[in-house]
Amino acid sequence: MKVLVTGGAGFIGSHIVDRLLQANMQVYILDNLSTGSIRNVNPGADFIKKDIRDKDLKKLFVRERFDYVIHEAAQTTVPKSLDNPYYDCDINVLGLVNVLEASRTAGVKRIVFASSAAIYGDTETFPIAEDCEKNPTSFYGESKLIGEHYLEKYYKNFDLEYIILRYANVYGERQSDSGEGGVISVFSKSILTNNPITVYGDGSQTRDFIYVKDVANANYEALLTASPNRSLNISTASETSVNKIITILSKITDQNPKIFYAAQRENDIKRSVLNNTAAINYLNWQPSYTLAEGLYLTLRDLSIKIAYRKNVVSVK
């Protein structure tokens, strides 16, 4: 089985690559390294430095004849989508269409697409099921929703199978500590380096935090499921406040960080928790890691990296 992972040098994509290689699949990574890192590239995969928007992408697909594509490459932050809607659309919509055109031309059997809880926006129904009304509050959420519509149309018009995975708030090793998408990574780094934590809002806002290896397993199962052409929430179906996250991190590290509360950010959703029943039923999947386990593993990895960086600096 020959699988291409776009964005495979990134946070989530690199974990997906690891999982596929564990299953002895032939894995290719396509990444322009704008946000991904060559350090994340598993040496067992074939790496191709390329942008999903490149005009000659179709030639690559025709030459390599990938069986499946997992599409992780994206612009992933809400603030950036608001600051530069053109850039967000260029990557998340036009970039996706470029991948879809290359896939249908080269005979790809199925594409697995990374969507987001951001497509739902603010809602009063919890946990949020897949058929809930979609009302994204940001251009990022809108671009992901448009991407889903393109996948549906490519199946109806060209018979290109798809599975859409709507991620809750993913966290874990290799996550960037910049931007709202990596709140756990940001908090963890602050605690481990004895710096204060900044919380936007009062900290009562909730999210459905899911560990990255559980997300990687969901992508693996999405390649194998016999029931394609559907959208599935990938989540824990558990609601956790930002303040609770800080409490758990503090207990694991035995630290008592200073906390500063700033004004709530524009377009920040108050509550988010996703129903994962459909994924459990259709993917033969469910989350394996508790929040405490995932946070411990995240902190352990980050503490090792921080210690390594300190040693490198001291040597210099």
Supply the range of the domain harboring residue 185.
Answer: 2-311
Q: Is residue 59 part of a domain?
A: yes
The CATH code of the domain that includes 13 is 3.40.50.720
Residue 311 has pLDDT above 60, yes or no: no
Any domain includes 135:
yes
In a domain, 159, yes or no: yes
> Please, which pLDDT band fits residue 258 given cuts at 50, 70 and 90?
very high
Edge-first strand listing for the sheet containing 26-31: 46-49, 26-31, 2-6, 68-71, 110-116, 161-167, 230-234
Of the candidates 53, 64, 143, the residue with the CA atom closest to the CA atom of residue 105: 64
Q: At what angle do helices 11-22 and 212-224 cross, to 10 degrees?
A: 50
Look at residue 141 and tell me if it is in a domain: yes
- Among candidate residues 25, 66, 20, 73, the one with its CA nearest the CA of residue 51: 73
Residue 133 falls inside a structural domain: yes
- Which of 77-86, 164-173, 175-184 is predicted most confidently? 164-173
Within a domain: 209: yes
| Alpha-carbon gap, residue 111 to 4, rounded angstroms | 9
Residue 250 lies in a domain: yes
Of 28, 120, 140, 167, the catalytic one is 140
Verify whether residue 211 is a known catalytic residue.
no
Alpha-carbon dihedral angle through residues 46, 65, 14, 309, given to the nearest 10 degrees: 30
The 3-state DSSP class for residue 309 equals helix
Beta bridge partners of 274: 128
> Which pLDDT value is given to residue 310?
61
Q: What percent of the chain has pLDDT over 90?
A: 87
Number of domains in the chain: 1
CA distance 40 to 18: 10
For 17-28, what is the mean pLDDT?
98
How far apart (Å, rounded) are the C-alpha atoms in residues 154 and 169?
27
Range of weakest confidence among 74-83, 162-171, 198-207, 306-315: 306-315
**Alpha helix locations (H) across the chain?**
11-22, 57-64, 78-83, 85-89, 96-106, 139-158, 183-192, 212-224, 242-253, 277-283, 291-315
Q: Which helix (H) or strand (E) holds 238?
A: none
> Is 271 within the bounds of a domain?
yes
